[in-house]
């Protein structure tokens, strides 16, 4: 059974069509890459699943139910831009998450933060940008949910920190859960992926098993992406 389903979903802002008749199923127990150049509609697609936006036409279901309390409980979302209150300390942020999400595993979050040698009484605004991104990722991955949606988790991060982020994703999501990762940095991430979705101009142009694609084309996902989107940029 699939986790998340898009049924004929379109999203328009004024006269601009950002998503055009999207039909999509996010399966259970897989890591899926949502790949596309800037402006393809990746973030819009993700925001719709988190009810930060509503479709112009069509509808989205989570485990065949309309989006709502259940989907908000079972989807952990890492937005592209930070939503944390930076005047708070890490400890206050953990308190906030614990109050807000009953499925937040505080002990796990503290363990992961400890690995980074982060002091819980540090104010977030005193942390480097890379550390802030790591903190956000830890908060999201410390929730026990069925679907993790990560919007550009590698954006603006140096290569060493990238390894940490990828490793943390790989070893920390709940068994049997799915991870949907949007990115344009494909080379770094493609080894992790079970499936890839290519999004271009608001349309899905490809959804396939990553190893199946490699076997078929004898080339990397990154290379396929570059060829596919050469004229799109």
Partner 1 sequence: MHFKFNNEKPIYLQMIEQLELDIVSGRLPPGSQLPTIRELASQAKININTVARALAELEELNLITTKRTNGKFVTNNQKRIIKCREKLAETTTHEYLKTMQSLGFNTKELLKYLKERS
Out of 126, 187, 227, 232, the only residue in the binding site for partner 1 (CB under 8 A) is 187
Number of residues that bind partner 1 (CB under 8 A): 24
**Cβ–Cβ < 8 Å for 140, 101:** no
Question: Using the rule CB under 8 A, is 191 a contact of partner 1?
Answer: yes
Out of 70, 120, 170, 232, the only residue in the binding site for partner 1 (CB under 8 A) is 170
Sites for partner 1 among residues 110-169 (CB under 8 A): 166-167
Nearer to partner 1, 20 or 223 (CB): 223
* Nearest distance in Å: CB 38, partner 1: 22
Question: Using the rule CB under 8 A, is 171 a contact of partner 1?
Answer: yes
Question: Using the rule CB under 8 A, is 221 a contact of partner 1?
Answer: yes
User: CB-based burial of residue 36 (10 Å sphere; 0-12 exposed, 13-18 middle, 19+ buried)?
Assistant: buried
* Nearest distance in Å: CB 175, partner 1: 8
Out of 84, 127, 161, 192, the only residue in the binding site for partner 1 (CB under 8 A) is 192
Q: Which residue has the tokens 């929730």?
A: 143
Question: Using the rule CB under 8 A, is 194 a contact of partner 1?
Answer: yes
Nearer to partner 1, 23 or 216 (CB): 216
Three-class SS of the chain: CEEEEEEEEEEEECCEEEEEEEEEEEECCCEEEEECCCCCCHHHHHHHHCCCCCCCEEEEEECCEECCHHHHHHEEEECCCCCCCCCCEHHHHHHHHHHHCCCECHHHHHHHHHHCCCCCCCEHHHCCHHHHHHHHHHHHHCECCCEEEEECCCCCCCHHHHHHHHHHHHHHCCCCCEEEEEECCHHHHHHHCCEEEEEECCEEEEEEEHHHHHHHHCCCHHHHHHHHCCCCC
Out of 105, 208, 222, 228, the only residue in the binding site for partner 1 (CB under 8 A) is 222
Q: Which stretch binds partner 1 (CB under 8 A): 1-9, 105-113, 120-128, 190-198?
A: 190-198
Question: Using the rule CB under 8 A, is 25 a contact of partner 1?
Answer: no
Question: Using the rule CB under 8 A, is 219 a contact of partner 1?
Answer: yes
Interface with partner 1 (CB under 8 A) = 29-31, 166-167, 170-171, 187, 190-194, 210-212, 214-215, 218-223
């Amino acid at each position: 059974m699939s986790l998340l389903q898009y049924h004929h979903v379109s999203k328009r802002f004024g006269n601009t069509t950002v998503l055009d008749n999207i039909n999509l199923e996010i399966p259970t127990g897989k890591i899926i890459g949502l790949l596309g150049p800037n402006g393809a509609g990746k973030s819009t697609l993700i925001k719709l699943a988190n009810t930060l936006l509503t479709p112009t036409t069509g509808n989205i279901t989570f485990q065949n139910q309309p989006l709502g309390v259940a989907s908000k409980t079972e989807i952990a979302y890492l937005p592209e831009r930070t939503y944390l209150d930076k005047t708070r300390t890490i400890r206050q942020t953990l308190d906030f998450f614990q109050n807000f999400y009953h499925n937040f595993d505080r002990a796990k979050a503290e363990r992961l933060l400890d690995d980074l040698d982060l002091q819980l009484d540090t104010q977030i605004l005193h942390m480097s940008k890379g550390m802030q991104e790591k903190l956000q990722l830890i908060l999201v991955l410390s929730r026990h949910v069925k679907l993790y949606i990560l919007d550009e988790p590698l954006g603006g991060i140096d290569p060493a920190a990238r390894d940490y982020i990828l490793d943390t994703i790989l070893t920390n999501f709940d068994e049997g859960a799915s991870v949907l990762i949007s990115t344009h940095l494909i080379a770094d991430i493609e080894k992790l992926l079970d499936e890839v979705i290519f999004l271009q101009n608001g349309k899905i142009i490809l959804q396939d098993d990553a190893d199946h694609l490699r076997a078929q084309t004898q080339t990397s996902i990154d290379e396929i992406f570059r060829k596919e989107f050469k004229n799109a940029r």
